[in-house]
Amino acid sequence: MVAAWITEEFASLKLGDKRREKRARLMVDQLAQISDSQPDAAKSTAALKANYRFVHHPENSPEAILNAHHQASIARTAEHPNVVLAQDTTVIDLTKPHSQVEGAGPLESEDKRGVFLHPLYAMTEEGLPLGIVDERIWTREAIHTNLTPGAKRRLRQQAAFEEKESSRWLEMFQSGEQIARAHPNTHYTVVGDSESDICELFLEIGELPENCHFVVRGCQNRAVIDAEGVANIDEALATASLRFTSQVNISDRTSKIAGETRPRRKTRAARLAEIGIRARPVTLRGPARPGGKLPDVTLNAVEAVELDPPAGEEPIRWVLLTTLAIDSLAQIQRVIAVYSLRWNIELYFKTLKSGLKIEKLKYETLDRYLTVLSLLMIVGWRVEYLKGAARFNPEVSCEAYFSAAQWQPAYLVFTDGGALPDQPLTIREFMLMIAELGGWQRKKSQGPPGSMTIWRGLRRMEAYADAFQAFQKAKSRSGG
């Protein structure tokens, strides 16, 4: 029998065959045990063969599998008053040393092959992950390795917007709009990093329902129309008064590229920074496009900038463009807090790659790979959801998420055979125990458990549960 959460997650699954739908549930149940490999997860040769038949079946599409998760995730969003929909792209490198995955496309070069994943990831404004509500998965057909940077830029400028990879940001934003229209009692805010600084997205402001907004990190010092004569966003923000300051711990960062000059990618030292906040409306001048100039658009801009950076260090700076209100300090703080939640989608990608090892799957064709990826994307959300549940619903019983057959063996190992408690542990207590099983230490300096320690702890929990069940079966057969 599969876990109850999987049955609920796949309530709307339609593959056209009940047996294949059952197999999909069984595979997610196996993959959710965070095993070292799919043969290890299957537990038997017969189950492994059935899994491979499922993956090879042409009608078991990733779209159908993920659509069931979309519906469950959207239903979860409707249970909350305020929801953030974060979008971002991750590169999945499927390059193999001897043979390539058939159907994988070029990445930064023809020698690197893989696929791009761009999900719309839902969470509450407190940060509880609710699931993926839509995504785009695509490959490049070709890259222009023989063109200069200037020639590549001109080629992008001449292309229709719908032909550009950047159109995915608008597609996902429009998907968020549709979800908001269907659920008017929930307020949705779509969040994107600097790649989503696109005028075509900003122009959606005229079509937005009242319960849908966006926050985008600006990356271009766009021209503005202003009665005070300022020319661009930076000059406009410089005229705004400082609304408040706060101190922020800045983590260190090591550049991945020697000689990196881009401020957001350069090496920096850890420090305590004083951040100043400014905010004001700006009217962006519509840029020229093939076929004519785009309309002007008025948005709210919020700047968070380091006031006194150390000598030789680039100041930390965000410019956020939004449709959210900025009239009060609380509203401005909300804009910054909502954008800060974008980091959760990076944690989701880390769980997929480092925990579930999606780049290490061994499939010869891309369609088969994507079928398994769709299942692992659901498992990845579940890991992040359990982490969030321990923070945001800490007093709920762990049996709301795990069976007694799972949590009790882990407790016995953790306490070295201590007596089981009269009541199940709370989810917070249990997830901290899982984190310790995964190597986390209860030290203030270490911070809260991360995805990797949770992932390792869950693996051990499943191993203990399997061993305990095997022991119980052997004991029953021997009449003990």
Q: Which helix (H) or strand (E) holds 455?
A: helix 451-477
DSSP conformation class of 419: P
Closest CA to 237 of 301, 174, 294: 301
Angle at 112 between CA 167 and CA 265, to 5 degrees: 65
Between residues 442 and 333, the one the model is more confident about: 333
CATH of domain 393-472: 1.10.740.10
Q: How confident is the model at residue 97 (pLDDT cuts 50, 70, 90)?
A: confident
User: Which amino acid, residue 316?
Assistant: I
Task: Dig out the tokens for 447 from the structure.
Answer: 């911070």
Q: What's the average model confidence in pLDDT over 373-382?
A: 96
pLDDT given for residue 305 in this prediction = 94
pLDDT band at 69 (very low <50, low <70, confident <90, very high): very high
Q: Which pLDDT does position 251 carry in this prediction?
A: 74
Contacts of 279 (CB under 8 A, 6+ apart): 240, 243, 300, 301, 302, 303, 326, 332, 335
Res 480: pLDDT: 60
pLDDT of residue 158: 52
Among 108-112, 143-147, 271-275, 312-316, whose mean pLDDT is lowest?
A: 143-147
Q: Answer yes or no: are the C-beta atoms of 69 and 132 closer than 8 Å.
A: yes
pLDDT of residue 392: 87
CB hemisphere CA count around 1 (13 angstroms): 5
Tell me whether the CATH fold assigned to 4-61+363-386 matches the one assigned to 393-472: no
Average pLDDT of 240-247? 92
User: 257 pLDDT exceeds 60?
Assistant: no
The pLDDT, as a whole number, for residue 219 is 94
Strand-pair category, 288-289 with 271-284: unpaired
Q: What angle do CA 272, 278, 280 make, to 5 degrees?
A: 160
Domain spans, the chain: 4-61+363-386, 393-472
Mean pLDDT of all residues belonging to the chain: 89
What is the per-residue pLDDT for 51?
Answer: 92
Q: Which band of pLDDT confidence, cut at 50, 70 and 90, is reported for residue 202?
A: very high
In this structure, the dihedral spanned by the alpha carbons of residues 376, 123, 253 and 449, taken in order and rounded to 10 degrees, is -70
pLDDT (mean) for 434-438 = 93
Instruction: List pLDDT tens digits, range 259-297.
Output: 556 566 567 778 888 999 999 999 999 998 888 899 999
At 159 the pLDDT is 55
Q: Estimate to the nearest angstrom the gap between the alpha carbon of 148 and the chain centroid.
A: 33
Q: Tell me how many degrees the CA angle 105-107-108 measures, rounded to the nearest 5.
A: 150
User: Which tens digits make up the pLDDT trace of 149-200?
Assistant: 666 565 555 555 556 788 999 999 999 999 999 999 999 999 999 999 999 9
- DSSP letters of 39-70? HHHH-SHHHHHHHHHHHH-TT--HHHHHHHHH
> pLDDT at position 161, please?
53
Q: So what's the pLDDT on residue 447?
A: 76
pLDDT for residue 84 = 98
- What is the reported pLDDT for 90? 96
Given a cut of 60, whether residue 210 has pLDDT beyond it is: yes
Kindly report the pTM of this predicted structure: 0.88
Instruction: Name which of 199, 204, 182 is nearest 190 in CA terms.
Output: 204
Helix, strand or coil for residue 209?
Answer: coil
pLDDT for residue 469 = 86
Q: Choose the weakest-confidence range: 51-60, 245-254, 421-430.
A: 245-254
DSSP 17: -
pLDDT higher than threshold 70 for residue 54: yes
Position 74 scores a pLDDT of 98
Higher pLDDT among residues 338 and 31, named by residue: 338
Which amino acid makes up residue 370? Answer: L
161-165, 331-335, 377-381: least confidently modelled range: 161-165
**Res 258 pLDDT > 80:** no
Give yes or no for residue 248 having a pLDDT over 80: yes
Question: Cα separation of 300 and 202, whole Å?
Answer: 11
Contacts of 463 (CB under 8 A, 6+ apart): none
Grade residue 44 by pLDDT with cuts at 50, 70 and 90: confident
Distances (CA, A) of 370 to 139, 295, 346, 377: 12, 39, 20, 10
What is the rounded radius of gyration, in angstroms, for the C-alpha atoms of the chain?
25
CATH code of the domain occupying 4-61+363-386: 1.10.246
pLDDT band at residue 456 under the 50/70/90 scheme: confident
Q: What pLDDT, on a 0 to 100 scale, did the predictor assign at position 261? A: 61
Instruction: State yes or no: pLDDT of 98 exceeds 60.
Output: yes
Spatial contact of 255 and 266, defined as CB atoms under 8 Å apart: yes
Mean pLDDT, range 119-128, rounded to an integer: 96
User: What are the two backbone dihedrals, phi and then psi, of residue 36, each rounded to the nearest 5 degrees?
Assistant: -70, -30
Contacts of 240 (CB under 8 A, 6+ apart): 278, 279, 280, 303
pLDDT-derived band of residue 238, with 50, 70 and 90 as boundaries?
very high
* pLDDT at residue 306, rounded to an integer: 93
pLDDT at 36: 64
Q: Which of 216, 195, 193, 222 is nearest to 204 (CA)?
A: 216
Q: Six-digit token pair at 119?
A: 């999900």
H/E element, 475: helix 451-477
Tokens of 125: 């404004």
**Distance (Å, whole) CA 134 – CA 63:** 10
How much of the chain exceeds pLDDT 70, in percent?
A: 91
